[in-house]
Chains A and B, each alone.
Chain A
Amino acid sequence: MSTAGVNSQNGTGTGQTYANGPTQAPASLHQVPGIGSGMTHQPAYNPLQAKAPTPPGLYPYQPVPSFNSSPSAQPLLSSPLVGRPPSHTPPLSASPGPRLPHGHATPPPLAAAAAVSSSSYYPSSQHSMAPTWQFNTVPQLPGSVAPANVPFRGTVGNHVNPPASLPAATSSAPFSSTPPPLNNPQPPGPGIPPTSMHGYTQPGLAPSPGNFMSPHTYPHGRPGFGPPPTGPPPAMKPTPPPPGAPVTSATPPPPKADGALTGNGPHAPNNFNHVDNKMAGQTQPGPPNRHVGHYPSLPPGYQNTSHAGPPMHPPQPYTQPTQPYQQSLSGPGPAQLSPSLAAMSLQSSTPEALRVVNLLQERNLLPPTAVSAPTPCLPQDLQKINCNPEVFRSTLTSIPQSQSLLNKAKMPLGLLLHPFKDLSQLPVVTSSTIVRCRSCRTYINPFVSFLDQRRWKCNLCYRVNDVPEEFMYNPVSRSYGEPHKRPEVQNATIEFIAPSEYMLRPPQPAVYLFVLDVSHNAVETGYLTVFCQSLLENINALPGDSRTKVGFITFDSTIHFYNLQEGLSQPQMLIVSDIEEIFLPTPDSLLVNLNECKELVQDLLKSLPNLFLKTMETQSALGSALQAAFKLLSPTGGRMSVFQTQLPNLGMGALQSREDPNQRASAKDIQHLSPATDFYKKLALDCSGQQVAVDLFLLSAQYCDLASLGCISRYSAGSVYHYPSYHQQHNPAQVERFQKDLKRYLTRKIGFEAVMRIRCTKGLSIHTFHGNFFVRSTDLLSLPNVNPDAGFAVQMSIEENLDDMQVVSFQAALLYTSSKGERRIRVHTLCLPVVSSLSDIFAGADVQAITGLLACMAVDRSVTASLSDARDAMTNAVIDSLSSYRHSVLTIQQPGLLAPACLRLFPLYILALLKQRAFRTGTSTRLDDRVFAMYQLKYQPLAYSVLLIHPALYRVDDLTDEGALNISERTIPQPRLLQLSVEKLSREGAFLMDAGTVMYLWIGRNCHSNFLTQVLGVPSCSSVPENLYLLPELDTAESQRTRAFVGWLRDQRPFFPSLHIIKDESQLKPHFMQNMIEDRTESALSYYEFLLHLQQQISK
């Protein structure tokens, strides 16, 4: 599937190396939403404004002090110089570049303006940037600006998406449009300097793909400059001094350039932008994209010019919070953003993420559509090729310089990974030598720097390595001598086909063993029929090749094996009743080649459900069955799928019921979250050693002690599925879910005998892993199987100061055997900036990732300590980080509960976690449900676990096509996200709650009859049947819209959320209401009360 993806080999053309980028295209999607989220932040500027001194002359200087971060920013700038870069780009040459412009600029008054603008290019200009901002808002010269704006809008969009890296071709179009503005505005000042820079820096650097970027930057920059001169000439004059200062600071850019080198040297102009970004990042790390979103309406030129002038206006952004979102959605040309614009927007954006939000006063914090990941504040060319946040995400998109700084911020540092995600496009590289660092074994990636054509410097350990001869040839462009254009250096996510050095043994075949519970209880639930049916339907879709093997074991109080040897007329059942000393009745033919024995297998599947219809055996010897299965699989490794419907109560690994149903709600603390025996864990470790993974399907109405049984999957890198109260007749929704899940499970991609290693830049180290696997060494996970639905989380710690680093990188390399018997390595590399100030750290916080990581940590805590401990720890996490923000970042103390805009959802998410099934107290929760919820939080990829934590609520009775998405000719309406509070419900409406694995459609008592008849096909609310779990397929626009929306939501995740249609009196209504997180319940605080509690704790 994925392999088919972009073949770099096919290479589109030399020029389009970036075009390879298509792989990253998925990323762009994400980012777009990100922008939208950014929008809301706009108000952040306020503080700045308030602080900004009105005197124009002083202006440039003052902003610096006003920024909390700014002081820190300066040191950073200087640091790059000191850092490694010097070797690459001659700093000298770089500095002259910037200066040149100044020289020109200063003499003539006009030039002064230009100079100011140019200052923006330089990192130092940042300080002035803040004021600039205000300027932008000043609507001067509407006429002249207007033309510029149009192109800019496009660019703005682009900006948002830049990471997306649209094909170069598209980007070019926008560029062409820009030229006119270029001419109009004063070209000399700003435009020239960059070019000069360009020339200087370039020599050292290799020609980079980035080239096309640079031209853009210039044009954009110019238009921007144009407006300023006209607007605030007086202001301008004072500004000149700042530019000078910037110049000195400007030197930093060269180092940046080095960073850029990784991407490719030539971006000199970009470098400037980067610098700016950096600066901006430091001052306000907020993702650049966000800014863009906000300001689209503003003339880009203004933004640039704003530096010079005092803030005339309050920022407009406030009024237009929603705009960004729309833009991002429609955003035609993110790719078209000019770097300079991007830089500008970055700068302006910085305030966004840090805008102070008084949580007690602002009620509507939820963005109208899904919250997206913030974008690291990186130079644009780096960000463009950075790893997709769905695959690799960090809780802090700006890495603190030292552990003490991290401790001060009181936020967890960690990574969330979804390494084996199904990707629509994935570059695959076949080569006999895979280029890796000789000392740390890092795979070559887009963030390494090429010292020259022959040597590259590892970005993790900084060792200088030789470029092998073979790497000099670029298969994409079919050219020689351009190692930096190889796909490995152009894509942050890439897959290698590994040569034989990466095999300890010949790649194993795909082996599937099914272990089925056939006791009376199991037969009663009727799952066997569904399973056999599903497997029969999908037997040809099982991933594998001609060597694929399958086998079956069934068990009750004895173990039944099935001899499927070729030549038998029908499957032969072999029963082993000695469950204490389990043995295999025949050495072979229990696992058979699927292709050769397909008919026998099909016979078996057809007869299996009837075989045990009359069984009276109630006992279950799961432990022995697992041991037998392990013996069967251990020579080859493979996947074991275990279906269990009751508590194992016989033989090895027998368990006792530990749950007292009467204590569910009342118990002060929840017991029995840890395993009762280590039998399953030890077996799992044995399995792991033999490359066997165990997937557990638990279908049961009673207590099954998932806490103990789950270990078998947890340490063997399997997955756990739980279908509480599964019953063929009584619970059709559950049956449907089981069917769909099973289909996905059987047909999804699979990787065998896998290991994943996570490397990070020297100075960082891995603290703890979360997920299903066995940790084999400090950075190595052993994954007997890896599946595309598994997520991982990693806690990081900072062991050495990262003072002299601009960026750090993380690399996850997953080595696996594909179902076709190929050894492959999938490598993801993420690059993040290093910052030195608290405010920058806060501005880069990714609230969803933080919540996800905290959830993982809390699960660990509740197992090792206690649930109440974990709950306290989560609450303290919010209190600590917000109070740290209040005391260390905010300079002006205001009353209320203050949070930076990027963390505004933090208390809400934590409250949601406290009310999540895994952690809630006071509500009757079955132990298995709770433990399963914990498992989910740990191994679901973040994108899915967010919904488990904070469900999404939509009003669906008034869906319209306004703002709808169009995907493959289907129109998908996009209703607004609502807060999870009963006050948002109304009796006249119908509301859809998407809680990840389940969806509820709540029908109000007085729901519009239109909706009832057109969507549900019933005349009145009272005639809506109980237990309705399907939307009837009616031929009406409303029905189509609703189904399209529900279908779209379902398509976004690999598992199948069942839909329940509920009314006021439905049995499931309590489940629906329990998800109303913002409301008060008997045992839990409402959102507002929770905020008050936080405030009280913080002000203590």
Chain B
Amino acid sequence: MAFTFAAFCYMLALLLTAALIFFAIWHIIAFDELKTDYKNPIDQCNTLNPTVEKVKKIKRVKIALKLVLPEYLIHFFFCVMFFCAAEWLTLFLNLPLLAYHVWRYMSRPVMSCPGLYDPTTIMNADILAYCQKEGWCKLAFYLLSFFYYLYGYVNVSSD
């Protein structure tokens, strides 16, 4: 019944997942804007990809909103937390996404700065569709995990 480390992890994950949901929605909107010709792909990729200056700025402003990398880092972060808390089931559920993130980052186009999206290829219909689908899938995953963490939190703290 105590406020254990695991409970803390769940609570943290809960909050962070809310942020991730926000990211996912933003991601979907961003690609929709691209598709509907709202934005120039160079600008869009610049916002999607964190550049060094932007990372600095973000630290200051504490808005991690525009970044892909932060999403990966946040997810990785609470995976580590679950690992430390020995919440194996939760960790197991998150592993596929973790692995996907690693794979996704490894297979990114040749770029000199961090980031996933290449303005010259992003307008390809396949890539665009893939990114949109990715956004929706992640949104679904985060939503489900949000409730799962809520349940986990209640469950762990009531034990």
Interface residues of A (CB under 8 A from B): 674-679, 681-682, 685, 689, 715, 765-769, 774-780, 795, 797
Contacts and interface: CB of A to CB of B under 8 A. Distances in A.
Nearest to B42: A685
Contacts of B112: 677-679, 682
A775 B41 CA distance: 8
Contact of A778 (B35, B40, B42, B119): B35
Contacts of B111: 678
Contacts of A674: 110
Contacts of B110: 674-678
A679 B42 CA distance: 15
B62 to A, nearest CB: 29
A768 B126 contact: yes
Interface string B117-159: 0111001111000000000000000000000000000000000
B125 A689 contact: no
A779 B123 CA distance: 9
B53 interface: no
Nearest to B35: A778
B126 A778 contact: no
Nearest to A795: B125
B7 to A, nearest CB: 45
B41 A776 contact: yes
A797 B125 contact: yes
A780 to B, nearest CB: 8
Interface in B90-129: 109-112, 118-120, 123-126
Contacts, number: 50
Nearest to A776: B40
A689 B124 contact: no
Contact of A767 (B41, B118, B125): B125
Nearest to B123: A775
Given A678-B109, A768-B124, A778-B123, 13 more contacts: A677-B110, A681-B118, A685-B42, A715-B120, A767-B124, A767-B125, A774-B120, A775-B120, A775-B123, A775-B124, A776-B123, A777-B41, A797-B125
A37 B76 CA distance: 62
13 contacts: A674-B110, A685-B42, A715-B120, A766-B125, A767-B124, A768-B125, A768-B126, A775-B41, A777-B34, A777-B123, A778-B123, A780-B37, A797-B125
Nearest to B36: A778
Contacts of B124: 767-768, 775
A685 B111 CA distance: 13
Contacts of A774: 119-120
A692 B12 CA distance: 50
A712 to B, nearest CB: 12
Contacts of A679: 112
Contacts of A777: 34, 37, 40-41, 123
A736 B15 CA distance: 70
Contacts of B35: 778
Nearest to A779: B37
A344 B56 CA distance: 74
Interface string B21-53: 000000000000011010011100000000000
A254 B62 CA distance: 66
B113 to A, nearest CB: 8
Nearest to A782: B40
Chain B contact residues: helix, strand, loop or mixed:
loop
Interface residues of B, number: 17
A779 B125 CA distance: 11
A689 B45 CA distance: 14
Contacts of B126: 767-768
A776 B125 CA distance: 13
Contacts of B37: 777-780
A769 B127 CA distance: 13
Contacts of B42: 685, 689
A676 B110 CA distance: 7
A636 B144 CA distance: 53
B123 A685 contact: no
A765 B129 CA distance: 13
A439 to B, nearest CB: 14
Nearest to B122: A775
B125 A681 contact: no
Contact of A681 (B34, B40, B41, B120): B120
Candidate in B42, B109, B120 with the most chain A CB atoms within 10 angstroms:
B120
A775 B124 CA distance: 9
A768 B122 CA distance: 10
Nearest to B45: A685
A765 B36 CA distance: 12
A775 B126 CA distance: 14
Nearest to B39: A777
A148 to B, nearest CB: 53
A896 B17 CA distance: 61
Contacts of A780: 37
Contacts of B40: 776-777
Contacts of B41: 775-777
Contacts of A769: 123
A774 B123 CA distance: 10
A775 B40 CA distance: 9
Contacts of B119: 685, 774
A952 to B, nearest CB: 34
A332 to B, nearest CB: 47
A443 B38 CA distance: 22
A876 B30 CA distance: 36
B124 to A, nearest CB: 5
A653 to B, nearest CB: 10
A137 B34 CA distance: 59
A784 to B, nearest CB: 14
Contacts of A678: 109-112, 118
Contacts of A778: 35, 37, 123, 125
Contacts of A675: 110
A676 B111 CA distance: 9
A766 B34 CA distance: 14
A75 B158 CA distance: 68
Nearest to B127: A768
Given A674-B110, A777-B37, A778-B37, A765 B120 contact: no
A938 to B, nearest CB: 13
Nearest to B107: A864
Contacts of B118: 678, 681
Nearest to A714: B120
B123 A765 contact: no
Q: Give the top 6 A-B pairs by smallest Cβ distance, nearest first.
A: A775-B123, A777-B37, A767-B125, A678-B111, A768-B124, A678-B112
Contacts of A689: 42
A689 B120 CA distance: 13
A1069 to B, nearest CB: 39
Nearest to B112: A678
A905 B124 CA distance: 30
Centre residue among A674, A682, A765, A779 by max chain B CB count within 10 A: A682
Nearest to A674: B110
Nearest to B120: A715
A611 B112 CA distance: 37
A841 B69 CA distance: 46
Among B34, B112, B119, residue most surrounded by chain A Cβ atoms (within 10 Å): B119
A472 to B, nearest CB: 33
A682 B45 CA distance: 12
Contacts of B109: 678
A769 B128 CA distance: 13
A779 B36 CA distance: 10
A795 B127 CA distance: 14
A112 B53 CA distance: 85
B4 to A, nearest CB: 47
A678 B116 CA distance: 13
A679 B35 CA distance: 26
A778 B122 CA distance: 10
A685 B119 CA distance: 9
Contacts of A767: 124-126
Contacts of A681: 118, 120
Contacts of A795: 125
A775 B123 CA distance: 7
